[in-house]
Amino acid sequence: MATLIDGRTVAKEVNKNTAERVKRLANEGIVPGLAVILVGDDPASKIYTRMKDKKAKKLGIHSVLSTYPEDIRQDELLHDIRRFNADENINGILIQEPLPKHLDGDKLLNAIDPGKDVDGFHPFNVGCLYNNVNVNYPVSCTPRGIMTLLKHYRVKLDGARALVIGRSILVGKPMAALLENANATVTVANSHTQNLTELTKQADILIVAAGVKHLITGEMVKQGAVVIDVGMHRLADKTLTGDVDFDSVAPVAKMITPVPGGVGPMTIASLMEQTVDLTEWSHNG
Ligand SMILES: NC(=O)C1=CN([C@@H]2O[C@H](COP(=O)(O)OP(=O)(O)OC[C@H]3O[C@@H](n4cnc5c(N)ncnc54)[C@H](OP(=O)(O)O)[C@@H]3O)[C@@H](O)[C@H]2O)C=CC1
Ligand SMILES: Nc1nc(=O)c2c([nH]1)NC[C@@H]1CN(c3ccc(C(=O)N[C@@H](CCC(=O)O)C(=O)O)cc3)C=[N+]21
């Protein structure tokens, strides 16, 4: 039976460290600031942005939750992003996804100062990640949290065969780049991939971010693999489940993340950690 990768416990450790760093900054008169931009009434987005706001405040981070109606104009949002760029009390700016269709998300993202891009989505920071450059830059919080989990559980990445299922800017792409930068041999699958099982069977590390409930079952997984489930699906009884069929995969895997309590808590912890990173970098270069 697989070891459970406990995201809640590791997230607590990360948050404790973040709170200590916030205290140290306070001694220098610095308070990290996070601005979260939420457009529209999507219930899930509302819950997540509220969770982020609450956690930030708990850790001593100055948090601004900026909410906008569904029909907000592009230029009005751009104006506010520029205002946050210029605001020295704000170190991190996040635009909650998904955005309404009438908005040009790429243009909005590109308007964020790369030095305040707490989600790591700006092409400048994505370029740093892809080139594995030796400077400080933010990366997407979910893959960053997964890297923290893999490190915490001492999963060997160097030389490992990793399969990332999904190629979104939020999860799949940055995840693949981080694993490659850690010298894993990385394959990335998408919805056009033929014979997925052939690939999953070879993976020592399997990261599943497809958004398809229980896509991965036990017979698809290599014995002794490390399985990370990013997927999140709300069932009729309000419970959460993932892209991995936990019950059939857990007996085959060496380690596995549960949903909830796996990747999710790490995403928020990484966001807080990265807000403090950006604050320190802006003061120390
Ligand atoms: N726990 C957390 O912190 C977070 C959880 N999530 C969850 O993770 C999941 C993925 O999120 P996100 O990356 O934003 O989702 P997207 O829908 O943006 O991307 C899904 C990706 O999976 C690929 N895909 C879909 N079906 C298959 C398939 N059958 N086989 C192989 N690849 C497939 C798609 O391929 P193609 O490109 O060809 O369409 C796409 O690249 C969702 O369930 C989301 O709720 C997301 C962010 C954070
Ligand atoms: N710009 C942007 N950045 C994001 O990082 C971003 C986003 N947009 N849009 C949506 C996704 C989703 N996301 C999650 C955060 C926390 C949990 C989380 O804490 N999950 C808990 C359970 C929460 C619950 O019970 O609902 C868990 O898995 O244990 C999940 C998902 C961040 N996202």
Is residue 251 predicted with pLDDT exceeding 80? Answer: yes
Residue nearest to atom 32 of ligand 1 (CA): 190
Same domain, 153 and 252: yes
Is 283 among the domain residues?
A: no
Q: What is the whole-number distance in angstroms between the Cα of residue 238 and the centre of ligand 1?
A: 20
Task: Tell me the per-residue pLDDT of 123-176, one tens digit each, with 9 for 90 and over.
Answer: 999 999 999 999 999 999 999 999 999 999 999 999 999 999 999 999 999 999
Same domain, 150 and 210: yes
Is 15 among the domain residues?
A: no
Same domain, 70 and 151: no
Is residue 285 predicted with pLDDT exceeding 80? Answer: no
Q: Angle CA(171)–CA(174)–CA(175) in degrees, nearest 5?
A: 70
Residue nearest to atom 21 of ligand 1 (CA): 166
CATH code of the domain in which 156 resides: 3.40.50.720
What distance in Å separates the CA atoms of residue 118 and residue 141, rounded to the nearest whole number?
Answer: 8
How many structural domains are present in the chain? 2
CATH code of the domain in which 93 resides: 3.40.50.10860
Is residue 26 predicted with pLDDT exceeding 80? Answer: yes
Task: Tell me the per-residue pLDDT of 213-227, one tens digit each, with 9 for 90 and over.
Answer: 999 999 999 999 999
Same domain, 203 and 242: yes
Residue type, position 152, single letter? H
Quick one: pLDDT at residue 1? Answer: 87
Residues acting as catalytic residues: 52, 96, 119
Identify the band that residue 284 occupies on the pLDDT scale cut at 50, 70 and 90: confident
When the pLDDT of each residue in the chain is averaged and rounded to a whole number, the result is 97
Q: Return the biggest CA–CA distance within the chain.
A: 56
Taking CA atoms, 55 is separated from 23, 58, 84, 186, 283, in Å, by 15, 5, 20, 33, 23
Please indicate whether residue 35, judged by its CB atom, sits closer than 6 Å to ligand 2.
no
Task: Quote the domain boundaries for residue 62.
Answer: 30-114
Is 274 among the domain residues?
A: no
Q: Which of 55, 167, 175, 194 to mutate to test the pocket of ligand 1 (most atoms within 8 A of CB)?
A: 167
Is 123 among the domain residues?
A: no
Q: What is the whole-number distance in angstroms between the Cα of residue 284 and the centre of ligand 2?
A: 30
Is 258 among the domain residues?
A: yes
Is 86 among the domain residues?
A: yes
Please indicate whether residue 264, judged by its CB atom, sits closer than 6 Å to ligand 2.
yes
Taking CA atoms, 15 is separated from 30, 133, 157, in Å, by 18, 27, 25
Is 25 among the domain residues?
A: no
